[in-house]
Structure 1
Amino acid sequence: MEARLRLAVGADGPAIAELARASVREVFPAYHDEVQTASAAEHITTLDTALIDDGTYYVYEAAGEIVACGGWSRRNKLFNASTAGADERLLDPATEPARIRAMFVRGDWTRRGLGRGILTACVDAARAEGFTRLALMATLPGVPLYKAFGFTEVEPVDLPMPDGVVLKGVAMERPIDLEEYA
């Protein structure tokens, strides 16, 4: 079965939210304890509908089901559970990086190139809008994908969730026009 990449639409919201929660419940236990996994499933999986409204969020669909999702943003918010310093301000492509946001892949669809496909679409779209860099806040399960795609670690970060639970994360960046990536 082959998956097809497309822009997300508002009607995809419930399926995206369920995919994100299921993905966290499946992959986070290898990196986080039970309390952290439950908190992440609650707080980092909330769909930011501005991504869909802005036309910057993608889904892979197979046999009528969404099996992967993710996107980018031209707005000043780095990840879903963040509030400090986040706002709806549009980023300046000449001086600020576009943000990679809310990447999730269903457990039985991992390691098939879907994350790379979404990241490639994000790079192309952000480049078309004049951005020269990308930034993201990786949760630990995502770090290997992002490194393979040419992102470099900026710094480790503690990610406080609204319920007080803290997750380990990694701030990462990459130039949009990176010559090669694995």
Structure 2
Amino acid sequence: MRISISENMASFLSSAEVEAARETMGVDWTLLEDGTYFVVETVQHGQKILVGCGGWGKRRTLYGGDHTAGRDDSYSDPAVDAARIRAMYTHPTWIRCGVGTLLLELGESAARDAGFSTIELGSTIPGEPFYLARGYKEIGRDTFVAANGADNVVIKMVKDL
């Protein structure tokens, strides 16, 4: 996650904005507890290498790690709420190799199987083109002023499953 955040965002955001983004990114242990998080690995030179991770959430929290303020860890109701795509990260050397698409499709499929008919996510500025190309629509933007004074933009997006 750290490498993905720092390197994949560097060509889109200033170093202060990348640091600000960390306040709404990171590990969310509820995804692991719920069994809704996936990893993609490969083997190089006999070593397993993590090339991507991401998943979906059946809780109301849209984005953020365990440290992020304003979380709502109550469960979503598939009859009225959207599922959430959560914590998508791809190692910089593996972007545009299908890793993110695979993780997104796994999350969407699992959410559909759990009875959800819509899915939402909170995208970074660098991630927005990826999600737009896969049928997501922007429904709003939140801008947070981080502890370092830099803006952190989260783009809220939705898609019918």
TM over 0.5: yes
Match of 1:54 in 2: 34
- Give the secondary-structure state (helix, strand or coil) at the position aligned to 1:30: coil
| Amino acid of the structure 2 residue aligned with 1:143 | E
- Give the secondary-structure state (helix, strand or coil) at the position aligned to 1:102: strand
Note if contact 1:21-1:45 (Cα within 8 Å) is conserved in structure 2. no
Match of 2:17 in 1: 36
- Give the secondary-structure state (helix, strand or coil) at the position aligned to 1:75: coil
Match of 1:120 in 2: 105
Structure 1: tracts of 5 or more residues without a match: 1-19, 177-182
Aligned to 1:74, which of 58, 68, 73?
58
Q: How far apart are residue 163 of structure 1 and its match?
A: 5.4
Superposition CA RMSD, Å: 1.6
Query: Percent sequence identity over matched residues?
Result: 32
- Give the secondary-structure state (helix, strand or coil) at the position aligned to 2:126: helix
- Distance in 2, matches of 1:100 and 1:27, equals 19
Q: Larger relative CO (CA 8 A, sep 6+): 1 or 2? A: 2
| Amino acid of the structure 2 residue aligned with 1:132 | S
Match of 1:104 in 2: 89
Note if contact 2:55-2:104 (Cα within 8 Å) is conserved in structure 1. yes
The one-character-per-residue Cα deviations of 1:5-41 (angstroms, maximum 9, x if unpaired) are: xxxxxxxxxxxxxxx110111121222111111233x
- Alignment CA distance shift 1:122-1:87 (3 Å): same
The one-character-per-residue Cα deviations of 1:98-133 (angstroms, maximum 9, x if unpaired) are: 011100100100001111111111111101110000
- Distance in 2, matches of 1:35 and 1:129, equals 39
- Alignment CA distance shift 1:162-1:92 (3 Å): farther
- Distance in 2, matches of 1:126 and 1:75, equals 11
- Distance in 2, matches of 1:141 and 1:65, equals 23
The one-character-per-residue Cα deviations of 1:36-63 (angstroms, maximum 9, x if unpaired) are: 11233x4344211110111100110011
Structure 2: tracts of 5 or more residues without a match: none
- Distance in 2, matches of 1:78 and 1:162, equals 21
How many pairs are equivalent?
155
